[in-house]
Amino acid sequence: MDVSASAKPAAQPFASGMLKGRVAVMTGSTSGIGLGIAAALAAQGADVLLNGFGDPTEIDRLRSSLADAHGVRLSYSAADMAKPEEIDGMIPQAANDLGSVDILVNNAGIQHTALVREVPLERWNAILAINLTAAFCAIRAVLPRMESRGWGRVINIASTHGLVASTHKAAYVAAKHGVLGLTKVVALEMATTGVTCNAICPGWVLTPLVQKQIDDIAAREGISGDAARARLLGEKQPSLEFATPEQIGALAAFLCSDAAAHIRGAALAVDGGWTAQ
């Protein structure tokens, strides 16, 4: 028997414009990793709903810049990820503005560093609400739409702190471990459908959130910003370099490709060797 003759066609390679006609909802996408992913998906032809806080004029500039650069449509939602009712409203807005919801990237997140015994309960609750519960609410809202269309991609931006722990980050580590558990459950429940769910686990990426940690180290230890940056990388990331939002965006775009159709429930580390140690 000629096996090659009966085999299914090979998955199409990662091709330019592969997401044309798709619509992506991107939480926490007005800066940093989220904006890098939004740009990568737009570059592949996806229409994108941005979400996040920021200066309205700057957000309008971002929308126009991405739309003009890639010939796609950009919408915006100011939904607060700490408020489930606003998340529930964001998904229909994307469908109304852009026509559907094919891709969901849960990226919104906040951080607080302190010893466990010093973490205020309100900060614990806020971190779990935005880093974990918001992802659950958005996923719950999009799955019926994706199932009805027979195709969907859910990408949760977790962290190396979803795989390993560090001191002073109890709420963040707990939330990101929860994100990986949620990712696996959604992947299993969608396993026989055209909907996939995976997580990306970045190590140190130079974003405003990480810059604040660098600034905190510099202030706490009385050292320069460059020294604090080197201290942060040297403690965890063997490459001694930051990953970039563009690299995270490229991986997210790959997970939306046909070649990634059987990557389900994965936690993909982009961490310069952090979790290889």
pLDDT tens digits, 114-166: 999 999 999 999 999 999 999 999 999 999 999 999 999 999 999 999 999 99
Please list the alpha-helical segments (H only) found in 44-192: 56-70, 84-98, 121-128, 134-149, 170-189
- Amino acid (one-letter) located at 146: M
Helix (H, G, I), strand (E, B) or coil at 155: strand
**What whole-number percentage of the chain has pLDDT above 90?**
90
DSSP for 201-241, please give it.
EE--B-SHHHHHHHHHHHHHHT--HHHHHHHHHHHH-TT-S
Residue 19's alpha-carbon distances to 2, 59, 150, 186, 275, in angstroms, are 34, 23, 15, 22, 31
CA-wise closest residue to 190 among 155, 158, 146: 146
Whether the per-residue pLDDT at 2 is higher than 50: the answer is no
Identify the pLDDT of residue 14.
Answer: 64
Tell me whether residue 76 is one of the annotated catalytic residues. no
Residues 6+ apart with CB under 8 A from 229: 214
Question: Which whole number is the average pLDDT over 5-13?
Answer: 48
Q: What is the pTM of this model?
A: 0.92
Total residue length of the chain = 277
Question: Which whole number is the average pLDDT over 203-228?
Answer: 91
Full set of structural domains in the chain with CATH: 16-203+243-271 (3.40.50.720), 206-241 (no CATH)
Residues 6+ apart with CB under 8 A from 171: 112, 119, 123, 124, 127, 128
Q: d(Cα 267, Cα 157) in Å, to the nearest integer?
A: 9
Whether the per-residue pLDDT at 7 is higher than 60: the answer is no
pLDDT band at 4 (very low <50, low <70, confident <90, very high): very low
Q: How many CA atoms are closer than 13 Å to the CA of 267, on its beta-carbon side?
A: 21
- Annotated catalytic residue within 172, 204, 242, 274: 172
pLDDT tens digits, 78-127: 999 999 999 999 999 999 999 999 999 999 999 998 999 999 999 999 99
Whether the per-residue pLDDT at 276 is higher than 70: the answer is yes
Q: Is the dihedral of CA 49, 197, 161, 133 positive or negative?
A: positive
